[in-house]
Amino acid sequence: MITNHEFEFTDASFDRIRQFILKHTGIVLGVKKKNMVYGRLVRQIRSGEYSCFKSFCDALESGNEMVQDYVINAMTTNLTAFFRENYHFDYLVNTVIPELLERKQASKKLRIWSAGCSTGEEPYSIAMTLKEHLPDFEKWDIKILASDLDANVIAKAKAGIYQSDHLTGISDKQLSHWFKRGRDEKSNYVKINTEVKDLICFRRLNLLHEWPMTGEFDFIFCRNVVIYFDKETQRNLFDRYANVLAAEGYLFLGHSETLNNISERFDFHGKTIYKKKV
Protein backbone atom coordinates (compact mmCIF):
# COMPACT_ATOMS: atom_id res chain seq x y z
CA MET A 1 0.00 0.00 0.00
CA ILE A 2 1.17 3.55 -0.74
CA THR A 3 1.50 5.52 2.47
CA ASN A 4 1.72 9.23 3.19
CA HIS A 5 -0.89 10.04 0.57
CA GLU A 6 -4.21 11.79 0.85
CA PHE A 7 -6.23 8.72 -0.17
CA GLU A 8 -5.66 5.02 0.34
CA PHE A 9 -4.42 3.30 -2.80
CA THR A 10 -4.18 -0.43 -2.18
CA ASP A 11 -2.25 -2.98 -4.18
CA ALA A 12 -5.61 -4.46 -5.17
CA SER A 13 -6.81 -1.18 -6.69
CA PHE A 14 -3.47 -0.70 -8.45
CA ASP A 15 -3.69 -4.21 -9.91
CA ARG A 16 -7.21 -3.57 -11.19
CA ILE A 17 -6.02 -0.46 -13.02
CA ARG A 18 -2.93 -2.28 -14.34
CA GLN A 19 -5.08 -5.08 -15.74
CA PHE A 20 -7.46 -2.63 -17.41
CA ILE A 21 -4.59 -0.74 -19.03
CA LEU A 22 -2.93 -3.95 -20.23
CA LYS A 23 -6.17 -5.27 -21.73
CA HIS A 24 -7.22 -2.05 -23.44
CA THR A 25 -3.91 -0.50 -24.51
CA GLY A 26 -1.27 -3.22 -24.30
CA ILE A 27 0.76 -1.01 -21.95
CA VAL A 28 2.55 -2.85 -19.15
CA LEU A 29 2.65 -0.91 -15.88
CA GLY A 30 5.36 -2.28 -13.60
CA VAL A 31 5.12 -2.17 -9.82
CA LYS A 32 7.38 0.87 -9.77
CA LYS A 33 4.67 2.84 -11.60
CA LYS A 34 2.30 2.73 -8.61
CA ASN A 35 3.05 6.26 -7.42
CA MET A 36 2.77 7.59 -10.97
CA VAL A 37 -0.66 5.99 -11.37
CA TYR A 38 -1.79 7.47 -8.06
CA GLY A 39 -0.58 10.93 -9.08
CA ARG A 40 -2.37 10.85 -12.41
CA LEU A 41 -5.71 9.58 -11.09
CA VAL A 42 -6.05 11.09 -7.62
CA ARG A 43 -7.78 14.24 -8.89
CA GLN A 44 -10.82 12.09 -9.70
CA ILE A 45 -11.05 11.02 -6.05
CA ARG A 46 -10.44 14.60 -4.89
CA SER A 47 -13.33 15.81 -7.02
CA GLY A 48 -15.71 13.94 -4.72
CA GLU A 49 -17.39 11.99 -7.51
CA TYR A 50 -15.85 8.79 -6.13
CA SER A 51 -15.39 8.16 -2.44
CA CYS A 52 -12.21 6.11 -2.85
CA PHE A 53 -10.05 4.30 -5.40
CA LYS A 54 -12.10 1.12 -4.94
CA SER A 55 -15.30 2.82 -6.10
CA PHE A 56 -13.37 4.42 -8.95
CA CYS A 57 -12.15 0.97 -10.03
CA ASP A 58 -15.70 -0.36 -9.78
CA ALA A 59 -16.83 2.32 -12.24
CA LEU A 60 -13.86 1.57 -14.48
CA GLU A 61 -14.70 -2.13 -14.67
CA SER A 62 -18.44 -1.53 -15.06
CA GLY A 63 -17.87 -0.18 -18.57
CA ASN A 64 -18.31 3.51 -17.75
CA GLU A 65 -16.89 5.03 -20.93
CA MET A 66 -16.08 8.40 -19.37
CA VAL A 67 -14.01 6.75 -16.65
CA GLN A 68 -12.34 4.41 -19.12
CA ASP A 69 -11.41 7.27 -21.45
CA TYR A 70 -10.07 9.28 -18.52
CA VAL A 71 -7.81 6.44 -17.38
CA ILE A 72 -6.54 5.70 -20.88
CA ASN A 73 -5.80 9.38 -21.53
CA ALA A 74 -4.10 9.77 -18.15
CA MET A 75 -1.89 6.72 -18.56
CA THR A 76 -0.66 7.30 -22.11
CA THR A 77 2.44 9.46 -22.49
CA ASN A 78 2.46 12.16 -25.17
CA LEU A 79 5.97 13.60 -25.32
CA THR A 80 6.69 14.80 -28.85
CA ALA A 81 8.18 17.64 -30.90
CA PHE A 82 8.45 18.81 -34.49
CA PHE A 83 11.11 16.86 -36.41
CA ARG A 84 11.93 14.80 -33.33
CA GLU A 85 14.69 12.24 -34.06
CA ASN A 86 15.60 14.32 -37.08
CA TYR A 87 17.69 11.58 -38.71
CA HIS A 88 14.41 9.90 -39.70
CA PHE A 89 13.41 12.97 -41.70
CA ASP A 90 16.88 13.15 -43.26
CA TYR A 91 16.38 9.53 -44.32
CA LEU A 92 13.01 10.41 -45.83
CA VAL A 93 14.63 13.16 -47.89
CA ASN A 94 17.77 11.29 -48.96
CA THR A 95 16.51 7.73 -49.38
CA VAL A 96 12.76 7.18 -49.15
CA ILE A 97 11.57 10.03 -51.37
CA PRO A 98 14.02 9.15 -54.22
CA GLU A 99 12.86 5.52 -54.04
CA LEU A 100 9.21 6.53 -54.12
CA LEU A 101 9.84 8.86 -57.06
CA GLU A 102 11.14 5.89 -59.01
CA ARG A 103 8.68 3.28 -57.79
CA LYS A 104 5.48 5.35 -57.77
CA GLN A 105 6.05 7.54 -60.80
CA ALA A 106 3.08 6.07 -62.65
CA SER A 107 0.45 6.20 -59.91
CA LYS A 108 1.83 9.21 -57.99
CA LYS A 109 -0.10 7.91 -54.98
CA LEU A 110 1.35 7.92 -51.47
CA ARG A 111 -0.25 6.65 -48.28
CA ILE A 112 1.46 7.25 -44.94
CA TRP A 113 0.55 6.38 -41.34
CA SER A 114 1.69 8.19 -38.20
CA ALA A 115 0.65 5.69 -35.52
CA GLY A 116 0.73 7.21 -32.07
CA CYS A 117 0.74 10.74 -33.44
CA SER A 118 0.18 12.46 -30.08
CA THR A 119 -0.50 16.20 -30.48
CA GLY A 120 0.31 16.20 -34.20
CA GLU A 121 3.88 17.37 -34.45
CA GLU A 122 5.01 14.15 -36.14
CA PRO A 123 2.47 13.99 -39.00
CA TYR A 124 2.81 17.72 -39.60
CA SER A 125 6.59 17.25 -39.82
CA ILE A 126 6.07 14.46 -42.36
CA ALA A 127 3.73 16.65 -44.40
CA MET A 128 6.15 19.58 -44.40
CA THR A 129 9.01 17.28 -45.44
CA LEU A 130 7.05 15.96 -48.41
CA LYS A 131 5.90 19.41 -49.49
CA GLU A 132 9.45 20.73 -49.34
CA HIS A 133 11.28 17.83 -50.98
CA LEU A 134 8.92 15.89 -53.27
CA PRO A 135 9.26 17.26 -56.82
CA ASP A 136 5.99 18.24 -58.53
CA PHE A 137 4.24 17.79 -55.19
CA GLU A 138 0.93 19.18 -56.51
CA LYS A 139 0.67 16.29 -59.01
CA TRP A 140 0.74 13.64 -56.27
CA ASP A 141 -2.19 12.04 -54.45
CA ILE A 142 -0.97 12.08 -50.84
CA LYS A 143 -2.86 11.20 -47.67
CA ILE A 144 -1.43 10.88 -44.17
CA LEU A 145 -3.37 8.97 -41.52
CA ALA A 146 -2.52 10.20 -38.02
CA SER A 147 -3.91 8.11 -35.17
CA ASP A 148 -3.69 8.00 -31.40
CA LEU A 149 -5.48 6.30 -28.54
CA ASP A 150 -5.82 9.54 -26.53
CA ALA A 151 -8.89 11.57 -27.52
CA ASN A 152 -7.49 14.74 -25.95
CA VAL A 153 -4.30 14.82 -28.01
CA ILE A 154 -6.19 14.00 -31.21
CA ALA A 155 -8.36 17.08 -30.61
CA LYS A 156 -5.27 19.24 -30.13
CA ALA A 157 -3.60 17.75 -33.21
CA LYS A 158 -6.67 18.51 -35.35
CA ALA A 159 -6.63 22.12 -34.17
CA GLY A 160 -2.97 22.49 -35.18
CA ILE A 161 -2.34 25.33 -32.71
CA TYR A 162 0.92 25.47 -30.76
CA GLN A 163 2.76 27.84 -28.47
CA SER A 164 5.46 29.49 -30.55
CA ASP A 165 8.10 29.03 -27.86
CA HIS A 166 7.56 25.25 -28.06
CA LEU A 167 8.46 25.01 -31.74
CA THR A 168 11.84 23.34 -31.30
CA GLY A 169 13.06 21.85 -34.58
CA ILE A 170 11.29 24.41 -36.77
CA SER A 171 13.47 26.78 -38.81
CA ASP A 172 12.58 30.44 -39.29
CA LYS A 173 11.88 29.70 -42.96
CA GLN A 174 9.49 26.88 -42.09
CA LEU A 175 7.83 29.01 -39.43
CA SER A 176 7.06 31.78 -41.91
CA HIS A 177 6.03 29.38 -44.68
CA TRP A 178 3.90 26.77 -42.91
CA PHE A 179 2.51 28.59 -39.86
CA LYS A 180 0.30 31.59 -39.20
CA ARG A 181 1.05 33.64 -36.08
CA GLY A 182 -1.76 34.72 -33.76
CA ARG A 183 -2.50 38.31 -32.88
CA ASP A 184 -2.92 40.30 -29.68
CA GLU A 185 -3.54 37.93 -26.74
CA LYS A 186 -2.77 34.97 -29.02
CA SER A 187 0.54 36.37 -30.26
CA ASN A 188 2.45 33.55 -28.54
CA TYR A 189 0.58 30.95 -30.58
CA VAL A 190 0.89 29.74 -34.16
CA LYS A 191 -1.43 27.68 -36.34
CA ILE A 192 -0.52 25.20 -39.06
CA ASN A 193 -1.47 26.39 -42.54
CA THR A 194 -4.50 24.78 -44.14
CA GLU A 195 -2.48 23.38 -47.05
CA VAL A 196 -0.48 21.26 -44.58
CA LYS A 197 -3.50 20.27 -42.46
CA ASP A 198 -5.44 19.14 -45.51
CA LEU A 199 -2.96 16.32 -46.12
CA ILE A 200 -3.74 14.67 -42.79
CA CYS A 201 -6.71 12.70 -41.47
CA PHE A 202 -6.68 12.54 -37.65
CA ARG A 203 -8.61 9.79 -35.94
CA ARG A 204 -8.72 8.03 -32.62
CA LEU A 205 -7.57 4.43 -32.95
CA ASN A 206 -6.60 1.65 -30.57
CA LEU A 207 -3.70 -0.23 -32.17
CA LEU A 208 -4.74 -3.45 -30.42
CA HIS A 209 -8.23 -3.45 -31.93
CA GLU A 210 -9.36 -4.08 -35.50
CA TRP A 211 -8.16 -1.46 -37.99
CA PRO A 212 -10.71 0.09 -40.38
CA MET A 213 -8.04 0.52 -43.05
CA THR A 214 -6.25 -2.25 -44.91
CA GLY A 215 -3.33 -0.32 -46.47
CA GLU A 216 -1.21 -0.28 -48.40
CA PHE A 217 1.00 2.28 -46.70
CA ASP A 218 4.28 3.37 -48.23
CA PHE A 219 5.80 4.05 -44.83
CA ILE A 220 4.68 4.00 -41.21
CA PHE A 221 5.98 5.99 -38.26
CA CYS A 222 5.37 4.21 -34.95
CA ARG A 223 7.85 5.85 -32.63
CA ASN A 224 8.09 5.55 -28.87
CA VAL A 225 4.85 3.58 -28.69
CA VAL A 226 5.81 -0.10 -28.44
CA ILE A 227 8.23 0.45 -25.54
CA TYR A 228 5.15 0.23 -23.31
CA PHE A 229 4.04 -3.14 -24.76
CA ASP A 230 5.11 -6.65 -23.80
CA LYS A 231 7.00 -8.74 -26.36
CA GLU A 232 3.99 -10.73 -27.55
CA THR A 233 1.95 -7.59 -28.14
CA GLN A 234 4.89 -6.07 -30.03
CA ARG A 235 5.25 -9.21 -32.13
CA ASN A 236 1.59 -9.15 -33.15
CA LEU A 237 1.61 -5.43 -33.86
CA PHE A 238 4.69 -5.54 -36.09
CA ASP A 239 3.22 -8.48 -37.99
CA ARG A 240 0.09 -6.42 -38.63
CA TYR A 241 2.21 -3.46 -39.75
CA ALA A 242 3.98 -5.71 -42.24
CA ASN A 243 0.60 -6.82 -43.58
CA VAL A 244 -0.51 -3.26 -44.38
CA LEU A 245 2.83 -1.99 -45.67
CA ALA A 246 3.45 -1.91 -49.40
CA ALA A 247 6.26 -4.05 -50.80
CA GLU A 248 9.55 -2.45 -49.70
CA GLY A 249 7.64 -0.11 -47.40
CA TYR A 250 9.42 1.43 -44.42
CA LEU A 251 8.74 1.29 -40.69
CA PHE A 252 10.26 3.95 -38.42
CA LEU A 253 10.56 3.19 -34.69
CA GLY A 254 11.59 5.24 -31.67
CA HIS A 255 15.23 5.64 -30.64
CA SER A 256 15.04 2.93 -27.93
CA GLU A 257 12.93 0.42 -29.88
CA THR A 258 13.99 -2.55 -31.98
CA LEU A 259 12.65 -5.47 -34.02
CA ASN A 260 15.55 -7.66 -32.94
CA ASN A 261 14.22 -11.07 -31.82
CA ILE A 262 10.66 -9.83 -32.37
CA SER A 263 10.00 -9.78 -36.14
CA GLU A 264 11.74 -11.34 -39.13
CA ARG A 265 9.64 -9.57 -41.72
CA PHE A 266 11.85 -6.49 -41.96
CA ASP A 267 15.45 -5.68 -42.88
CA PHE A 268 17.36 -3.28 -40.63
CA HIS A 269 18.52 -0.05 -42.30
CA GLY A 270 20.12 1.63 -39.30
CA LYS A 271 18.93 4.12 -36.67
CA THR A 272 15.63 2.31 -35.91
CA ILE A 273 14.66 2.27 -39.60
CA TYR A 274 13.30 -0.97 -41.07
CA LYS A 275 12.25 -2.00 -44.56
CA LYS A 276 9.70 -4.69 -45.29
CA LYS A 277 11.18 -7.80 -46.87
CA VAL A 278 9.88 -8.63 -50.31
Q: Is 40 a catalytic residue?
A: yes
Helices (H), the chain: 11-25, 34-46, 53-61, 65-75, 87-91, 97-103, 121-133, 151-159, 172-178, 194-197, 231-244
133, 93 contact by CB (below 8 A): yes
Q: Which of 148, 150, 218, 223 is catalytic?
A: 148
Q: Is 223 a catalytic residue?
A: no
Rounded Cα distance, 94 and 131, in Å: 14
Rounded Cα distance, 83 and 158, in Å: 18
Looking at the DSSP bridge assignments, the partners of residue 222 are: 253
Rounded Cα distance, 205 and 3, in Å: 37
Query: Cβ contacts of residue 30 below 8 Å, gap of 6+?
Result: none
Q: Which of 15, 40, 58, 204 is catalytic?
A: 40
The helix/strand/coil state of 258 is: coil
User: Known catalytic residues?
Assistant: 40, 148
